[in-house]
Amino acid sequence: MPHLGAFFFYNVFIAEETLLIQLQPHQQRAFDNMQSEDCGQILIPTGGGKTYIMIADLKEQLRTAYSGLVSVVVAPRILLSNQLHSEFSEHLVDEDVRISHVHSGEVKEFSSTNAEEIADYVNNHDSHHIIYTTYHSLHRIVDADIPIHNIYFDEAHNGTSKHFFRAVLATSKYANRRYYFTATPRIGRGQSKERGMDNNRVYGNILEQTAAAELIQSGKIVPPLVVPFDTDLVRERINAHDVDRENVINILESLEEGKNHKVLIAAPNTKVLWRMLSQTSIINDLKLMGYDIMHITSKHGAYINQQKVRRDKFFNTLTNWGADDNKRFVIFHYSILSEGINVPGLSDTILLRNLPSIEMAQTIGRVIRLHNEDRSNIQSGKIPAGMINFYRKKCGYVRIPLTKGIGTKTHKRVQSIVNTIFNEGVVPISYAS
């Protein structure tokens, strides 16, 4: 297999064309083990390119197939499902596959949550099928009673939920090949023992477990830096939105001048977030500071500069702004952006809430992705992988306001998680609820 720097190349030959997928060593190990094992877990930190492993495996299965294959890609949310569809499509443009979606989101291709319609669509077309779905709708595919040759679970810890595990368990009984991808596995105890990812009968053995340090050294991610921000403000329930506004503005004013910061802000809850946006001066304050403003919640929807927009427009804009070095913006959310969503270009996150360990690790993962220029320079050999001092983006900042009596515990937990994952190389494990 050809080798260039820190990268391996996996070549797929179809119709006399060579389609190239670039795999780093940890991705190659996962891919190789998937070729010899029909089931297992791939545990890779956020930003480690889990999607590319799925795509490389699927391309290999399509290359060697003698008849039509049905492959299922499972995501925790519709937004992430659509993002996975987009990423898969970029590398499957020359493949003869039919696309369908089993969830309630708006898409261009065939979409249904009706079991009979799903079965008819798959059974009446003798071709390869890729079905994009969510954990919430996976049981619809189970009810359709269609064959599953490959199933890829993204953010697989979601499958341990008591609401979703039944469908996950069902697919484990008959899917030919099944793989569970996550940076933050959940194990079982007590009543949740069967649902935990330590249940090898369902989830299989660990096929790849990559340490974050390896990804940093190979030029895949940058390390996080936790930055506490001291304040004399007293935050109480009645003034939470005012204090949060003050902390956000003060933190942004403290950032390095002359740079276009891209900041993800995790609000304590939807109610406080909405009050901060509607009852304080924060929107005008941010405008005066040169920031564009985005916010999204499941309750109120998606907004760009106070205009309500469709979620697809929201994320297309986010992608474009993230890649634009001349754009300065903030994104407010409660939880919808904490997991799985690939948000490019983020430089900072401000934590206004104490998150569970899984969400904390996932949120940190949003800001440790490489700057596009650094990625290009590493791939071309202009910058050696892991030589962070030469990077344009040297770290991802995790900023935590320390108000009186609030924030200290969050700071300690975040720093502990950073030490555990990025310094000690330990996978952050939680318990299935």
Summarize pLDDT for 18-34 with one digit per residue, the tens.
345 679 999 999 999 99
Q: Which amino acid is at 349?
A: T
Residue 14 has pLDDT above 60, yes or no: no
- Residues 252-267 have a mean pLDDT of 93
Cβ(41)–Cβ(183) under 8 Å?
no
Cβ(319)–Cβ(294) under 8 Å?
no
Using CA of residue 343, residue 93, residue 178, residue 31, what is the dihedral sign? negative
**CA distances (Å), origin 209, targets 40, 80, 150, 430:** 11, 23, 21, 16
- Residues 102-126 have a mean pLDDT of 92
- Residues 227-231 have a mean pLDDT of 92
**Domain ranges (residues) in the chain:** 3-210, 216-431
| Band (8; pLDDT cuts 50, 70, 90) | very low
| Band (103; pLDDT cuts 50, 70, 90) | very high
| Band (339; pLDDT cuts 50, 70, 90) | low
Which residues is 230 bridged to in the sheet?
Answer: 402
Predicted structure pTM score:
0.88
Does the domain at 216-431 match CATH 3.40.50.300? Answer given as yes
Q: What is the reported pLDDT for 193?
A: 92
Specify the DSSP element, H or E, that contains 249.
helix 240-254
Residue 9 has pLDDT above 70, yes or no: no
- Residues 299-321 have a mean pLDDT of 91
Residue 93 has pLDDT above 60, yes or no: yes
- Residues 249-255 have a mean pLDDT of 96
| Band (11; pLDDT cuts 50, 70, 90) | very low
Backbone angles phi, psi at 64, to 5 degrees: -100, 0
Topology of domain 3-210, CATH: Rossmann fold (3.40.50)
How many other CB atoms are there within 10 angstroms of residue 314's CB atom?
A: 20
| Band (340; pLDDT cuts 50, 70, 90) | low
| Band (422; pLDDT cuts 50, 70, 90) | confident
Tokens of 367: 């800001």
Average pLDDT score over the chain: 89
Stronger pLDDT, 339 or 425, i.e. the higher one? 425
Cβ(230)–Cβ(254) under 8 Å?
no
Cβ(207)–Cβ(27) under 8 Å?
no
Q: What is the reported pLDDT for 359?
A: 80
Using CA of residue 224, residue 228, residue 233, residue 236, what is the dihedral sign? positive
| Digit-coded pLDDT (tens) for 142-153 | 999 999 999 999
Tell me the three state secondary structure of residue 18.
Answer: strand
Non-local (6+) Cβ contacts of 85 within 8 A are 73, 99, 101, 107, 132
How large is the C-alpha radius of gyration of the chain?
A: 22
Q: What is the reported pLDDT for 12?
A: 40
Q: What is the reported pLDDT for 146?
A: 96
Q: Is there a common fold for 3-210 and 216-431?
A: yes
Tokens 């030490």 identify what position? Answer: 419
DSSP 419: I
Tell me the three state secondary structure of residue 225.
Answer: strand
Q: How many whole angstroms separate alpha carbon 426 and alpha carbon 368?
A: 17
Q: How many whole angstroms separate alpha carbon 125 and alpha carbon 127?
A: 6
| Digit-coded pLDDT (tens) for 359-368 | 888 888 889 9
| Digit-coded pLDDT (tens) for 164-196 | 999 999 999 999 999 999 999 999 998 899 999
Q: How many whole angstroms separate alpha carbon 330 and alpha carbon 307?
A: 15
φ/ψ region of 337 (left if φ > 0, alpha if ψ in -120 to 50, else beta) reads alpha
DSSP 407: S
Non-local (6+) Cβ contacts of 21 within 8 A are 9, 10, 12, 52, 55, 56, 59, 91
Tokens 């820190």 identify what position? Answer: 6
Q: How many whole angstroms separate alpha carbon 331 and alpha carbon 273?
A: 11
Which residues is 136 bridged to in the sheet?
Answer: none
**CA distances (Å), origin 220, targets 7, 322, 411:** 11, 17, 26
Residue 358 has pLDDT above 70, yes or no: yes
Tokens of 142: 């189970």
